């Protein structure tokens, strides 16, 4: 099994191109099931999760083609993929495929909306909480589907097609909003989604569906209205920049010191995280599609953070921010409100010398003067990259095992960091 070794203590200086957002690309790829015409997606990151979803879509009969390199593209930026679901032959998504990635469960919406039935295995994915699918299924039932669980599979049917309805989510759910959007786009009549997720990835899906002929208003607000149409057509759409990758590299610079410009990104996608970083002492300058982060070696200020749905501080940056706070001056309180098991990185950070105490959903971090390299184990995607950030700042060598988690969500991570001066190497097993 591959591992990454890092010799820390080097500031980061240079330019890092930001990839397309995995969390936007996955629902966009799934949306290809909603039309028999070709959906072309640009700026798709090269990640294990993307390849896994291509296999899942291929099992349904979706053809895909990775387009050759275009001007400005490198192995560290995006790729273009064409997806054509003109000959869907199977509306079952089997356990052996869905169990590898949670987001693949969302295929239930376009399959049900377009073909009137879907049989999808209960999902797998990162072990960061139960993340039940009950709200997703509730949304489908509100649109007239019958849903039952049989032998570990969710079987959804709408023999006469879905019909518009009112969906009131009791709590914000990104997956539920994705599913509701796709299902409602092909439902007969109008649909209202209340307490919808406002995440940029939801807005990106709505924009793509609109290009395909859907009639959607209000994406990015808690209230979305959809007027169903009988069919959708092909389209061309570029995946938005990855705000989590952007925030991750910004926090790495804030922790190690240095001066890095992040290119092909947007500050409006992560205002809350950038505001918090500024409070820690990092200097942040934003441009049209760039964010520059500088820290001249001065101390890191301790800051309290609570994760919240967008536009709040993202749960997907909580682990990275905790790594930063391990070297802050004083005590910081980090409260996780989204996922109940998302503190699994705490014990691994402690192996590097961090002082962190857990009290329920609260992590209390006492800053230390230095971290020291050690062997650590990645437990999930965001936890693994928090260990990379900590290793970049730690004295000596840090060895991170089980880095397949990183390959699920960070494109060319070692190359991007190495180009900015990090001493980081992947050791192949």
CA nearest 245: which of 225, 226, 260? 260
pLDDT digits (tens, 9 = 90+) for 174-215: 999 999 999 999 999 999 999 999 999 999 999 999 999 999
- Give the residue ranges of the annotated binding site: 22-23, 102, 131-135, 316, 338
| Residue numbers belonging to the annotated binding site for phosphoenolpyruvate | 22-23
* The domain over range 22-238 is classified in CATH as 3.65.10.10: yes
Same fold, 3-18+241-427 and 22-238: yes
Q: What is the DSSP string of 8-46?
A: ----EEEEEEPPBPHHHHHHHHHGGGG-SSEEEEEEE--
- What share of the chain in percent tops pLDDT 70? 96
Rounded (10°) CA dihedral 295, 300, 306, 307: 40
Q: Does the pLDDT value for residue 50 go beyond 60?
A: yes
**Annotated catalytic residue within 126, 208, 276, 324:** 126
For the chain, how are helix, strand and coil distributed in percent, rounded to 5? 35, 30, 35
Q: What is the pTM of this model?
A: 0.95
Q: 315-361 pLDDT, tens per residue?
A: 999 999 999 999 999 999 999 998 766 788 999 999 999 999 999 99
Query: pLDDT (tens digit, 9 = 90+) per residue, 15-43?
Result: 999 999 999 999 999 999 999 999 999 99
pLDDT tens for 74-94 read 666 689 999 999 999 999 999
Q: What is the pLDDT of residues 258-285, one digit of tens each?
A: 999 999 999 999 999 999 999 999 999 9
Domain 3-18+241-427 top-level CATH class: alpha beta
Domain ranges of the chain: 3-18+241-427, 22-238
Beta-carbon contacts of residue 187 (< 8 Å; ≥ 6 apart): 113, 143, 144, 161, 162, 163, 164, 165, 226, 228
Q: Is 420 noted as a catalytic residue in this protein?
A: no
Mean pLDDT, all residues of the chain: 93
351 CB neighbour count, 10 Å cutoff:
17
Measured CA to CA, the distance from residue 82 to residue 122 in angstroms comes to 27
- Binding residues for UDP-N-acetyl-alpha-D-glucosamine, by number, are 102, 131-135, 316, 338
pLDDT at 130 over 60: no
Among 105, 25, 6, CA closest to 403: 6
Pairing of strands 190-194, 166-168: parallel
């Amino acid at each position: 099994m591959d591992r990454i070794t890092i010799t820390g203590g080097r500031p980061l200086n240079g330019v890092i191109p930001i990839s397309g957002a995995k969390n936007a690309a996955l629902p966009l790829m799934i949306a290809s099931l909603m039309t028999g015409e070709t959906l072309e997606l640009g700026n798709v990151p090269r990640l294990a999760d993307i390849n896994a979803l291509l296999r899942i879509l291929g099992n349904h009969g979706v053809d895909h083609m990775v387009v050759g390199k275009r001007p400005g593209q490198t192995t560290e930026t995006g790729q273009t993929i064409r997806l054509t679901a003109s000959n869907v032959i199977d509306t079952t998504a089997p356990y052996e495929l869905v169990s590898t990635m949670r987001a693949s469960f969302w295929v239930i919406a376009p399959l049900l909306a377009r073909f009137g039935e879907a049989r999808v295995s209960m999902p797998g994915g990162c072990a960061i909480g139960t993340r039940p699918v009950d709200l997703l299924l509730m949304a489908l039932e509100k649109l007239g589907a019958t849903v039952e669980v049989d032998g570990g599979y969710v079987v959804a049917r709408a023999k006469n097609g879905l019909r518009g309805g009112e969906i009131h989510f009791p709590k914000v759910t990104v997956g539920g909003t994705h599913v509701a959007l796709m299902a409602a786009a092909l439902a007969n009549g109008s649909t209202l989604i209340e307490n919808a997720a406002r995440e940029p990835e939801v807005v990106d899906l709505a924009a793509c569906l609109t290009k395909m002929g859907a009639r959607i208003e209000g994406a990015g607000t808690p209230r979305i209205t959809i007027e169903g149409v009988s069919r959708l057509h092909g389209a061309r759409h570029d995946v938005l920049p990855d705000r989590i990758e952007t925030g991750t590299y910004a926090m790495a610079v804030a922790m190690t010191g240095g001066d890095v410009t992040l290119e092909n990104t947007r500050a409006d996608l992560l205002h809350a995280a950038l505001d918090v970083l500024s409070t820690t002492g990092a200097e942040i300058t934003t441009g049209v599609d760039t964010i520059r982060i500088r820290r001249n070696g001065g101390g890191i200020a301790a800051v309290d953070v609570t994760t919240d749905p967008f536009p709040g501080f993202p749960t997907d940056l909580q682990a990275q921010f905790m790594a930063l706070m391990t070297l802050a001056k004083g005590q910081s309180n980090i409260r996780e409100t989204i996922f109940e098991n998302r503190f699994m990185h705490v014990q691994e950070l402690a192996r590097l010398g961090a002082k962190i105490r857990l009290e329920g959903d609260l992590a209390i971090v006492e800053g230390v003067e230095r971290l020291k390299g050690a062997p650590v184990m990645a437990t999930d995607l965001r936890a693994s990259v928090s260990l990379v950030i900590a290793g970049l700042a730690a004295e000596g060598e840090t060895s991170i095992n089980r880095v397949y988690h990183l390959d699920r969500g960070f494109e060319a991570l070692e190359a991007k960091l190495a180009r900015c001066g990090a001493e980081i190497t992947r050791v192949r097993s």
